[in-house]
Structure 1
Protein backbone atom coordinates (compact mmCIF):
# COMPACT_ATOMS: atom_id res chain seq x y z
CA UNK A 1 0.00 0.00 0.00
CA UNK A 2 2.83 2.39 0.93
CA UNK A 3 4.66 1.74 -2.36
CA UNK A 4 1.49 2.08 -4.43
CA UNK A 5 0.81 5.50 -2.90
CA UNK A 6 4.35 6.65 -3.63
CA UNK A 7 3.98 5.47 -7.23
CA UNK A 8 0.68 7.33 -7.56
CA UNK A 9 2.26 10.53 -6.20
CA UNK A 10 5.14 10.14 -8.64
CA UNK A 11 2.73 9.70 -11.56
CA UNK A 12 1.16 13.10 -10.84
CA UNK A 13 4.47 14.86 -10.29
CA UNK A 14 6.29 13.33 -13.26
CA UNK A 15 4.01 15.31 -15.57
CA UNK A 16 5.41 18.54 -14.09
CA UNK A 17 9.10 17.77 -13.43
CA UNK A 18 10.09 21.45 -13.33
CA UNK A 19 8.07 21.98 -10.13
CA UNK A 20 10.03 20.95 -7.04
CA UNK A 21 7.75 19.43 -4.37
CA UNK A 22 8.09 20.73 -0.83
CA UNK A 23 8.25 17.15 0.45
CA UNK A 24 10.64 14.92 -1.50
CA UNK A 25 12.60 13.01 1.13
CA UNK A 26 10.09 11.16 3.29
CA UNK A 27 12.75 9.88 5.69
CA UNK A 28 14.00 13.41 6.31
CA UNK A 29 10.40 14.47 6.78
CA UNK A 30 10.07 11.84 9.51
CA UNK A 31 13.31 13.00 11.13
CA UNK A 32 11.88 16.52 11.39
CA UNK A 33 9.16 15.22 13.68
CA UNK A 34 6.34 14.66 11.18
CA UNK A 35 4.58 11.39 10.38
CA UNK A 36 5.61 10.28 6.87
CA UNK A 37 2.76 7.75 6.63
CA UNK A 38 0.16 10.47 7.13
CA UNK A 39 2.14 12.88 4.95
CA UNK A 40 2.17 10.43 2.04
CA UNK A 41 -1.53 9.67 2.46
CA UNK A 42 -2.44 13.35 2.68
CA UNK A 43 -0.23 14.33 -0.26
CA UNK A 44 -1.85 11.73 -2.50
CA UNK A 45 -5.25 13.00 -1.40
CA UNK A 46 -4.26 16.57 -2.30
CA UNK A 47 -3.11 15.52 -5.77
CA UNK A 48 -6.20 13.39 -6.46
CA UNK A 49 -8.70 15.97 -5.17
CA UNK A 50 -7.08 18.76 -7.17
CA UNK A 51 -7.07 16.62 -10.30
CA UNK A 52 -10.82 16.11 -9.92
CA UNK A 53 -11.36 19.87 -9.58
CA UNK A 54 -9.61 20.65 -12.88
CA UNK A 55 -11.60 20.19 -16.14
CA UNK A 56 -10.18 17.90 -18.81
CA UNK A 57 -9.20 20.79 -21.09
CA UNK A 58 -6.96 22.22 -18.38
CA UNK A 59 -5.36 19.02 -17.07
CA UNK A 60 -1.98 20.20 -18.37
CA UNK A 61 -2.42 23.79 -17.21
CA UNK A 62 0.60 25.29 -15.49
CA UNK A 63 1.10 28.75 -14.03
CA UNK A 64 3.80 30.57 -15.99
CA UNK A 65 3.16 34.28 -15.44
CA UNK A 66 5.77 35.71 -13.02
CA UNK A 67 3.15 37.61 -11.01
CA UNK A 68 1.00 34.49 -10.65
CA UNK A 69 4.06 32.53 -9.51
CA UNK A 70 4.81 35.26 -6.96
CA UNK A 71 1.26 34.96 -5.62
CA UNK A 72 1.66 31.19 -5.28
CA UNK A 73 4.90 31.77 -3.35
CA UNK A 74 3.01 34.05 -0.96
CA UNK A 75 0.39 31.38 -0.30
CA UNK A 76 3.04 28.71 0.22
CA UNK A 77 4.99 30.92 2.61
CA UNK A 78 1.87 31.61 4.65
CA UNK A 79 0.68 28.00 4.72
CA UNK A 80 0.94 26.28 8.10
CA UNK A 81 2.17 22.68 8.57
CA UNK A 82 -0.38 20.18 9.85
CA UNK A 83 0.34 18.97 13.38
CA UNK A 84 0.69 15.26 12.54
CA UNK A 85 1.66 15.04 8.87
CA UNK A 86 3.63 18.28 8.58
CA UNK A 87 1.93 18.93 5.21
CA UNK A 88 1.39 22.62 4.64
CA UNK A 89 -2.21 23.84 4.54
CA UNK A 90 -3.58 27.09 3.10
CA UNK A 91 -5.86 28.95 5.49
CA UNK A 92 -5.62 32.69 4.80
CA UNK A 93 -3.74 34.85 2.34
CA UNK A 94 -3.99 37.24 -0.59
CA UNK A 95 -6.33 36.64 -3.50
CA UNK A 96 -5.60 36.84 -7.23
CA UNK A 97 -7.46 38.82 -9.89
CA UNK A 98 -6.63 37.88 -13.48
CA UNK A 99 -7.83 40.44 -16.03
CA UNK A 100 -7.52 40.55 -19.79
CA UNK A 101 -9.36 40.11 -23.10
CA UNK A 102 -10.90 36.81 -24.15
CA UNK A 103 -8.37 34.08 -24.86
CA UNK A 104 -5.31 35.58 -23.16
CA UNK A 105 -4.85 32.63 -20.80
CA UNK A 106 -6.60 33.73 -17.61
CA UNK A 107 -8.36 30.42 -16.99
CA UNK A 108 -5.20 28.51 -17.93
CA UNK A 109 -3.17 30.47 -15.37
CA UNK A 110 -5.88 30.03 -12.72
CA UNK A 111 -6.05 26.27 -13.05
CA UNK A 112 -2.27 26.18 -13.41
CA UNK A 113 -1.95 27.91 -10.05
CA UNK A 114 -4.21 25.33 -8.42
CA UNK A 115 -2.25 22.52 -10.05
CA UNK A 116 1.11 23.94 -8.96
CA UNK A 117 0.02 24.14 -5.34
CA UNK A 118 -0.93 20.45 -5.43
CA UNK A 119 2.35 19.40 -7.06
CA UNK A 120 4.19 21.36 -4.36
CA UNK A 121 2.27 19.32 -1.81
CA UNK A 122 0.26 22.19 -0.35
CA UNK A 123 -3.25 21.41 0.86
CA UNK A 124 -5.50 24.12 -0.58
CA UNK A 125 -8.75 22.08 -0.88
CA UNK A 126 -9.72 24.01 -4.04
CA UNK A 127 -13.21 24.50 -5.41
CA UNK A 128 -13.44 25.82 -8.97
CA UNK A 129 -16.30 26.83 -11.23
CA UNK A 130 -17.32 29.51 -13.73
CA UNK A 131 -19.19 32.19 -11.84
CA UNK A 132 -22.24 31.52 -14.06
CA UNK A 133 -22.33 27.94 -12.76
CA UNK A 134 -22.17 29.20 -9.18
CA UNK A 135 -25.17 31.44 -9.87
CA UNK A 136 -27.05 28.55 -11.52
CA UNK A 137 -26.52 26.24 -8.55
CA UNK A 138 -27.61 28.97 -6.13
CA UNK A 139 -30.81 30.01 -7.91
CA UNK A 140 -33.82 29.41 -5.64
CA UNK A 141 -35.85 26.41 -6.79
CA UNK A 142 -37.63 23.39 -5.42
CA UNK A 143 -35.53 21.14 -3.15
CA UNK A 144 -32.43 23.34 -3.42
CA UNK A 145 -31.05 25.08 -0.36
CA UNK A 146 -29.50 28.19 -1.91
CA UNK A 147 -27.87 29.21 1.36
CA UNK A 148 -26.18 25.83 1.69
CA UNK A 149 -24.81 26.15 -1.85
CA UNK A 150 -23.56 29.66 -1.09
CA UNK A 151 -21.80 28.48 2.05
CA UNK A 152 -20.08 25.65 0.19
CA UNK A 153 -18.37 28.22 -2.04
CA UNK A 154 -17.94 30.89 0.64
CA UNK A 155 -16.20 28.57 3.10
CA UNK A 156 -13.87 26.67 0.75
CA UNK A 157 -10.18 27.29 1.59
CA UNK A 158 -9.28 28.21 -2.03
CA UNK A 159 -12.00 29.27 -4.47
CA UNK A 160 -11.53 29.77 -8.21
CA UNK A 161 -14.43 31.85 -9.60
CA UNK A 162 -13.94 32.07 -13.35
CA UNK A 163 -15.32 34.78 -15.67
CA UNK A 164 -16.60 37.29 -13.12
CA UNK A 165 -18.72 39.98 -14.80
CA UNK A 166 -19.71 37.81 -17.76
CA UNK A 167 -23.26 37.09 -16.56
CA UNK A 168 -26.16 39.45 -17.19
CA UNK A 169 -26.38 41.96 -14.36
CA UNK A 170 -29.36 41.86 -12.01
CA UNK A 171 -30.02 42.80 -8.39
CA UNK A 172 -29.78 39.12 -7.44
CA UNK A 173 -26.41 38.67 -9.23
CA UNK A 174 -25.07 41.82 -7.59
CA UNK A 175 -26.20 40.53 -4.19
CA UNK A 176 -24.48 37.16 -4.73
CA UNK A 177 -21.28 38.88 -5.88
CA UNK A 178 -21.29 41.19 -2.87
CA UNK A 179 -21.98 38.44 -0.35
CA UNK A 180 -19.42 36.04 -1.78
CA UNK A 181 -16.64 38.59 -2.22
CA UNK A 182 -17.32 40.29 1.10
CA UNK A 183 -17.35 36.98 3.01
CA UNK A 184 -13.96 36.00 1.65
CA UNK A 185 -12.62 39.57 1.95
CA UNK A 186 -13.49 39.78 5.67
CA UNK A 187 -11.87 36.40 6.42
CA UNK A 188 -8.89 36.85 4.07
CA UNK A 189 -9.68 33.59 2.28
CA UNK A 190 -7.57 33.26 -0.89
CA UNK A 191 -9.63 33.38 -4.06
CA UNK A 192 -8.78 33.38 -7.75
CA UNK A 193 -11.01 35.57 -9.92
CA UNK A 194 -10.81 36.00 -13.68
CA UNK A 195 -12.64 38.61 -15.75
CA UNK A 196 -12.74 39.93 -19.30
CA UNK A 197 -13.92 43.31 -18.00
CA UNK A 198 -11.31 46.08 -18.49
CA UNK A 199 -9.94 47.38 -15.16
CA UNK A 200 -11.51 50.84 -15.58
CA UNK A 201 -14.95 49.32 -16.21
CA UNK A 202 -14.91 46.79 -13.38
CA UNK A 203 -16.82 48.97 -10.91
CA UNK A 204 -19.56 49.77 -13.41
CA UNK A 205 -19.96 46.10 -14.33
CA UNK A 206 -19.90 44.34 -10.96
CA UNK A 207 -20.56 47.23 -8.59
CA UNK A 208 -18.21 49.71 -6.96
CA UNK A 209 -18.35 48.06 -3.53
CA UNK A 210 -17.39 44.66 -4.97
CA UNK A 211 -14.68 46.14 -7.19
CA UNK A 212 -13.20 48.08 -4.27
CA UNK A 213 -12.88 44.93 -2.18
CA UNK A 214 -11.38 43.00 -5.07
CA UNK A 215 -8.71 45.61 -5.65
CA UNK A 216 -7.75 45.58 -1.97
CA UNK A 217 -7.80 41.80 -1.42
CA UNK A 218 -6.22 40.71 -4.71
CA UNK A 219 -2.88 40.74 -6.45
CA UNK A 220 -4.06 42.05 -9.82
CA UNK A 221 -2.50 40.63 -12.99
CA UNK A 222 -3.43 41.95 -16.44
CA UNK A 223 -2.76 39.47 -19.23
CA UNK A 224 -2.29 40.68 -22.79
CA UNK A 225 -1.85 39.09 -26.19
CA UNK A 226 -3.80 37.39 -28.96
CA UNK A 227 -6.67 34.97 -28.51
CA UNK A 228 -5.01 31.64 -27.64
CA UNK A 229 -8.14 29.68 -28.60
CA UNK A 230 -7.84 30.84 -32.20
CA UNK A 231 -4.27 29.56 -32.13
CA UNK A 232 -5.38 26.14 -30.91
CA UNK A 233 -4.33 26.58 -27.26
CA UNK A 234 -6.50 26.53 -24.13
CA UNK A 235 -7.25 29.90 -22.55
Structure 2
Protein backbone atom coordinates (compact mmCIF):
# COMPACT_ATOMS: atom_id res chain seq x y z
CA UNK A 1 0.00 0.00 0.00
CA UNK A 2 1.38 3.45 -0.93
CA UNK A 3 2.41 5.38 2.16
CA UNK A 4 0.17 8.29 1.19
CA UNK A 5 -2.94 6.12 0.95
CA UNK A 6 -5.74 6.92 3.35
CA UNK A 7 -7.33 3.87 4.92
CA UNK A 8 -10.69 3.21 6.46
CA UNK A 9 -10.35 3.33 10.25
CA UNK A 10 -14.00 2.60 11.02
CA UNK A 11 -14.14 0.56 14.20
CA UNK A 12 -10.64 1.56 15.33
CA UNK A 13 -11.51 4.40 17.71
CA UNK A 14 -11.36 2.22 20.83
CA UNK A 15 -8.20 0.44 19.69
CA UNK A 16 -6.42 3.74 18.99
CA UNK A 17 -7.52 5.49 22.17
CA UNK A 18 -5.08 3.80 24.62
CA UNK A 19 -2.17 5.03 22.48
CA UNK A 20 -3.52 8.61 22.39
CA UNK A 21 -3.83 8.34 18.62
CA UNK A 22 -6.61 9.46 16.32
CA UNK A 23 -7.47 8.51 12.74
CA UNK A 24 -6.23 11.96 11.67
CA UNK A 25 -2.82 11.23 13.17
CA UNK A 26 -2.54 8.05 11.16
CA UNK A 27 -3.84 9.49 7.91
CA UNK A 28 -2.33 12.97 7.87
CA UNK A 29 1.28 12.47 8.93
CA UNK A 30 3.33 11.74 5.84
CA UNK A 31 6.98 11.39 4.91
CA UNK A 32 9.33 8.44 4.75
CA UNK A 33 7.27 5.33 3.91
CA UNK A 34 9.02 3.48 6.72
CA UNK A 35 8.39 6.02 9.45
CA UNK A 36 6.27 5.33 12.52
CA UNK A 37 3.01 6.52 11.05
CA UNK A 38 3.34 4.78 7.72
CA UNK A 39 4.08 1.51 9.47
CA UNK A 40 1.09 2.07 11.76
CA UNK A 41 -1.17 2.62 8.76
CA UNK A 42 0.11 -0.54 7.10
CA UNK A 43 -0.37 -2.61 10.25
CA UNK A 44 -3.91 -1.29 10.72
CA UNK A 45 -4.62 -2.12 7.09
CA UNK A 46 -3.21 -5.64 7.62
CA UNK A 47 -5.36 -6.14 10.71
CA UNK A 48 -8.44 -4.84 8.91
CA UNK A 49 -7.86 -7.37 6.14
CA UNK A 50 -6.86 -10.40 8.22
CA UNK A 51 -8.69 -10.25 11.55
CA UNK A 52 -11.79 -12.48 11.14
CA UNK A 53 -14.97 -10.50 10.58
CA UNK A 54 -16.53 -11.51 13.90
CA UNK A 55 -13.49 -10.10 15.77
CA UNK A 56 -13.20 -6.90 13.69
CA UNK A 57 -13.95 -4.76 16.78
CA UNK A 58 -12.25 -6.99 19.35
CA UNK A 59 -10.60 -5.14 22.24
CA UNK A 60 -7.93 -6.32 24.62
CA UNK A 61 -9.77 -5.23 27.75
CA UNK A 62 -8.14 -7.73 30.11
CA UNK A 63 -5.47 -5.74 32.01
CA UNK A 64 -2.94 -8.59 31.91
CA UNK A 65 -3.36 -8.99 28.15
CA UNK A 66 -2.81 -5.28 27.57
CA UNK A 67 0.16 -5.29 29.95
CA UNK A 68 1.77 -8.07 27.91
CA UNK A 69 1.17 -6.13 24.68
CA UNK A 70 2.67 -2.97 26.18
CA UNK A 71 5.71 -4.91 27.35
CA UNK A 72 6.17 -6.44 23.89
CA UNK A 73 5.93 -2.99 22.29
CA UNK A 74 8.51 -1.53 24.67
CA UNK A 75 10.90 -4.46 24.18
CA UNK A 76 10.59 -4.21 20.39
CA UNK A 77 11.43 -0.50 20.46
CA UNK A 78 14.39 -1.06 22.79
CA UNK A 79 15.79 -3.82 20.59
CA UNK A 80 15.35 -1.77 17.40
CA UNK A 81 17.39 1.24 18.56
CA UNK A 82 18.98 2.99 15.60
CA UNK A 83 16.87 1.30 12.95
CA UNK A 84 14.53 3.20 10.66
CA UNK A 85 11.91 0.46 10.90
CA UNK A 86 11.05 -1.05 14.27
CA UNK A 87 10.62 -4.81 14.10
CA UNK A 88 9.23 -7.34 16.56
CA UNK A 89 11.63 -7.98 19.42
CA UNK A 90 12.46 -11.12 21.36
CA UNK A 91 9.94 -11.41 24.15
CA UNK A 92 7.85 -13.68 26.32
CA UNK A 93 4.71 -15.21 24.86
CA UNK A 94 1.10 -15.09 26.07
CA UNK A 95 -1.07 -18.07 27.03
CA UNK A 96 -4.81 -17.49 27.37
CA UNK A 97 -6.59 -20.32 29.19
CA UNK A 98 -10.22 -20.86 30.04
CA UNK A 99 -13.43 -22.72 29.19
CA UNK A 100 -15.00 -22.55 25.74
CA UNK A 101 -16.76 -19.29 24.93
CA UNK A 102 -15.22 -17.09 27.64
CA UNK A 103 -13.57 -14.70 25.18
CA UNK A 104 -10.01 -15.98 24.77
CA UNK A 105 -9.96 -15.58 21.00
CA UNK A 106 -11.60 -12.17 21.36
CA UNK A 107 -8.78 -11.09 23.66
CA UNK A 108 -6.15 -12.58 21.33
CA UNK A 109 -7.37 -10.66 18.28
CA UNK A 110 -7.97 -7.65 20.48
CA UNK A 111 -4.27 -7.77 21.39
CA UNK A 112 -3.30 -7.84 17.70
CA UNK A 113 -5.56 -4.85 17.02
CA UNK A 114 -4.14 -3.06 20.07
CA UNK A 115 -0.60 -3.58 18.77
CA UNK A 116 -1.36 -2.41 15.23
CA UNK A 117 -1.14 1.41 15.72
CA UNK A 118 2.16 1.36 17.67
CA UNK A 119 4.42 1.94 14.65
CA UNK A 120 6.07 -1.48 14.78
CA UNK A 121 6.13 -3.82 11.78
CA UNK A 122 4.48 -6.80 13.47
CA UNK A 123 3.86 -8.91 10.33
CA UNK A 124 1.76 -11.28 12.42
CA UNK A 125 0.32 -14.61 11.35
CA UNK A 126 -2.78 -16.19 12.91
CA UNK A 127 -4.27 -19.67 12.64
CA UNK A 128 -6.15 -22.25 14.69
CA UNK A 129 -4.48 -25.50 15.67
CA UNK A 130 -6.91 -27.41 13.42
CA UNK A 131 -6.05 -25.20 10.43
CA UNK A 132 -2.37 -25.50 11.24
CA UNK A 133 -2.52 -29.29 11.09
CA UNK A 134 -4.52 -29.14 7.87
CA UNK A 135 -1.92 -26.86 6.28
CA UNK A 136 0.94 -29.14 7.33
CA UNK A 137 -0.64 -32.48 6.47
CA UNK A 138 1.41 -34.15 3.71
CA UNK A 139 -0.26 -33.95 0.32
CA UNK A 140 0.72 -33.72 -3.32
CA UNK A 141 2.11 -30.39 -4.48
CA UNK A 142 2.71 -28.95 -1.01
CA UNK A 143 6.07 -28.79 0.78
CA UNK A 144 5.07 -29.35 4.39
CA UNK A 145 8.43 -28.13 5.71
CA UNK A 146 8.08 -24.82 3.88
CA UNK A 147 4.60 -24.45 5.34
CA UNK A 148 5.92 -25.29 8.81
CA UNK A 149 8.64 -22.64 8.59
CA UNK A 150 6.04 -20.02 7.71
CA UNK A 151 4.51 -20.49 11.15
CA UNK A 152 7.66 -21.35 13.08
CA UNK A 153 9.52 -18.22 11.91
CA UNK A 154 6.61 -15.74 11.98
CA UNK A 155 7.71 -12.60 13.87
CA UNK A 156 4.45 -12.69 15.87
CA UNK A 157 2.14 -15.70 15.83
CA UNK A 158 -1.34 -16.48 17.12
CA UNK A 159 -2.28 -20.14 17.61
CA UNK A 160 -5.94 -20.48 18.59
CA UNK A 161 -7.38 -23.54 20.37
CA UNK A 162 -4.12 -25.31 21.14
CA UNK A 163 -4.88 -28.80 22.41
CA UNK A 164 -8.44 -28.84 21.08
CA UNK A 165 -7.83 -31.30 18.24
CA UNK A 166 -7.65 -35.04 18.75
CA UNK A 167 -4.07 -35.89 19.61
CA UNK A 168 -1.84 -38.27 17.70
CA UNK A 169 1.89 -38.82 17.50
CA UNK A 170 1.93 -36.57 14.43
CA UNK A 171 0.07 -33.65 16.08
CA UNK A 172 2.18 -33.99 19.22
CA UNK A 173 5.34 -33.75 17.12
CA UNK A 174 4.03 -30.69 15.27
CA UNK A 175 3.15 -29.01 18.58
CA UNK A 176 6.57 -29.77 20.03
CA UNK A 177 8.55 -28.63 17.00
CA UNK A 178 6.60 -25.38 16.73
CA UNK A 179 6.58 -24.51 20.43
CA UNK A 180 10.21 -25.54 20.90
CA UNK A 181 11.42 -23.39 18.00
CA UNK A 182 9.61 -20.35 19.29
CA UNK A 183 10.71 -21.09 22.86
CA UNK A 184 14.39 -21.37 21.90
CA UNK A 185 14.31 -18.19 19.82
CA UNK A 186 12.07 -16.16 22.14
CA UNK A 187 9.62 -15.42 19.34
CA UNK A 188 6.45 -13.88 20.81
CA UNK A 189 3.39 -16.06 20.38
CA UNK A 190 -0.21 -15.80 21.55
CA UNK A 191 -1.71 -19.18 22.43
CA UNK A 192 -5.30 -19.82 23.41
CA UNK A 193 -6.52 -23.10 24.87
CA UNK A 194 -9.82 -24.19 26.42
CA UNK A 195 -8.18 -26.15 29.22
CA UNK A 196 -7.56 -25.40 32.85
CA UNK A 197 -3.94 -24.92 33.94
CA UNK A 198 -3.80 -28.32 35.65
CA UNK A 199 -5.07 -30.04 32.47
CA UNK A 200 -2.49 -28.56 30.13
CA UNK A 201 0.01 -31.42 30.33
CA UNK A 202 -2.67 -34.02 29.60
CA UNK A 203 -3.72 -32.15 26.45
CA UNK A 204 -0.38 -31.16 24.91
CA UNK A 205 2.15 -33.42 26.64
CA UNK A 206 4.80 -32.68 29.23
CA UNK A 207 7.45 -31.43 26.77
CA UNK A 208 5.16 -28.78 25.31
CA UNK A 209 3.46 -27.81 28.58
CA UNK A 210 6.84 -27.37 30.31
CA UNK A 211 7.98 -24.92 27.64
CA UNK A 212 4.67 -23.07 27.61
CA UNK A 213 4.82 -22.58 31.38
CA UNK A 214 8.34 -21.12 31.15
CA UNK A 215 7.92 -18.99 28.00
CA UNK A 216 4.45 -17.53 28.56
CA UNK A 217 2.68 -14.98 30.68
CA UNK A 218 -0.45 -16.90 31.62
CA UNK A 219 -3.92 -15.36 31.79
CA UNK A 220 -6.91 -17.43 32.92
CA UNK A 221 -10.20 -16.09 31.61
CA UNK A 222 -13.23 -17.21 33.58
CA UNK A 223 -16.93 -16.99 32.97
CA UNK A 224 -19.76 -18.68 31.11
CA UNK A 225 -20.06 -19.43 27.40
CA UNK A 226 -20.87 -16.08 25.78
CA UNK A 227 -21.98 -17.74 22.54
CA UNK A 228 -24.70 -19.72 24.33
CA UNK A 229 -25.84 -16.58 26.15
CA UNK A 230 -26.05 -14.68 22.86
CA UNK A 231 -28.11 -17.47 21.30
CA UNK A 232 -30.53 -17.70 24.23
Shorter chain as normaliser: what TM range? 0.7 to 0.9
Alpha-carbon distance in structure 2 between the residues aligned to 1:44 and 1:114: 14
Listed as ranges, the matches of 1:215-234 within 5 Å are 215-232=213-230
Find out whether 1:132 has 2:147 as its counterpart. Answer: no
Partner of 1:158: 156
TM-score (norm 2): 0.87
Find out whether 1:170 has 2:178 as its counterpart. Answer: no
Alpha-carbon distance in structure 1 between the residues aligned to 2:215 and 2:76: 17
Query: What do the CA deviations read for 1:67-114 (whole angstroms, capped 9, x no partner)?
Result: 1011011101101347564x5321311100000001110000000000
What is the aligned counterpart of 1:195 among 175, 185, 193? 193
Q: What SS does the corresponding residue of 1:148 show, helix, strand or coil?
A: helix
Listed as ranges, the matches of 1:67-146 within 5 Å are 67-80=64-77, 81=80, 85=84, 87-146=85-144
Partner of 1:46: 43
Measured after TM superposition, the shift of residue 145 of structure 1 is 0.6
Q: What SS does the corresponding residue of 1:221 show, helix, strand or coil?
A: strand
User: Alpha carbon RMSD of aligned pairs, Å?
Assistant: 2.7
Q: List runs of 5+ in structure 1 lacking aligned partners.
A: none
Measured after TM superposition, the shift of residue 152 of structure 1 is 0.2
Alpha-carbon distance in structure 2 between the residues aligned to 1:95 and 1:158: 9
Q: What SS does the corresponding residue of 2:99 show, helix, strand or coil?
A: coil
Count residues with an aligned counterpart: 225
Alpha-carbon distance in structure 2 between the residues aligned to 1:58 and 1:11: 14
TM-score (norm 1): 0.86
